[in-house]
Structure 1
């Protein structure tokens, strides 16, 4: 049996599990920037999931009101471990500078996809449950507010339809198309 028989499913599992945890840590990193109380049940769950790995890092990392450097370091370390595992299973290993650029690209892509997905979920929830309280909806709205509110203030409603989510998603995709080749170019010249 070829080596990829077991390595492909293993790579899929590593990619999926690490990506889910990275999303959780990324949301934890955004918590000081959003206006949702830390008593929110989903925020409490996020803190419980991430705190066992953040606590040791916090002992030597500075923390400010708006930025938790221990959470950022955890996100970088988890990304490095994920990339190291995937690259070793693929039989490839870039230079240290390549690994740094891959990590930066992975983190940038993580936040682009996080905001894109949460904006889509916010739109879907506004259609499905427009008036009812939903704890998931309130957290997602708080995450997206820094991106959506400036666009909403400048853009009029067209026939009662808010097109700001579409504008922000298009902007995120264009930003990704501009930045990702700069990050991945030295690592993967064919892009």
Structure 2
């Protein structure tokens, strides 16, 4: 059981990093710091977008329109941190 909880905790941590990277890449692409025409950059961004968008789109639907500001990744990261803390507290004391 301890191994399963550890694995879930690690997957949640990896997913949070994917969220942070996709947000950073979208900012960098908006300011023309990275070239989205580059095939490698495009593939990495497309992969990260495909794995994060299913979790972000329901949050975006429930949020009010804030203009060009999208806070759905922040909300999702807060939810994931809450779930990780629950796992650590009630899941047998995973020490990470």
Give your verdict on TM over 0.5: yes
> Deviation above 6 Å: which 4+ runs of structure 1?
none
Deviations 1:122-166 (A, max 9, x none): 100000013835110100011112211110111123231000000
2:92 is aligned to 184
Q: CA 1:126 to 1:174, structure 2 compared with 1: closer, same or farther past 3 Å?
A: same
- The one of the two structures with greater contact order (alpha-carbon pairs below 8 A, sep at least 6) is 2
Given the two structures, how large is their TM-score scaled by the length of structure 1? Answer: 0.42
Larger CA Rg, structure 1 vs 2: 1
Structure 2 counterpart SS, 1:184: coil
- Which among 65, 90, 95 is matched to residue 157 of structure 1? 65
1:163 and 1:157 mapped to 2: Cα distance? 10
- In structure 1, list runs of 5 or more residues that go unmatched: 1-99
1:167 is aligned to 75
* 1:122/1:141 contact within 8 Å kept: yes
2:4 and 2:90 mapped to 1: Cα distance? 11
Matched, 1:148 2:48: no
Deviations 1:22-74 (A, max 9, x none): xxxxxxxxxxxxxxxxxxxxxxxxxxxxxxxxxxxxxxxxxxxxxxxxxxxxx
Deviations 1:62-87 (A, max 9, x none): xxxxxxxxxxxxxxxxxxxxxxxxxx
Q: CA 1:157 to 1:126, structure 2 compared with 1: closer, same or farther past 3 Å?
A: farther
User: How do 1:58-69 residues align onto structure 2 when only pairs under 5 Å count?
Assistant: none
- Number of corresponding residues: 87
* 2:22/2:49 contact within 8 Å kept: yes
1:137 and 1:157 mapped to 2: Cα distance? 24
User: How do 1:35-54 residues align onto structure 2 when only pairs under 5 Å count?
Assistant: none
Given the two structures, how large is their TM-score scaled by the length of structure 2? Answer: 0.79
1:170 and 1:154 mapped to 2: Cα distance? 16
Deviations 1:161-181 (A, max 9, x none): 000000000000011111222
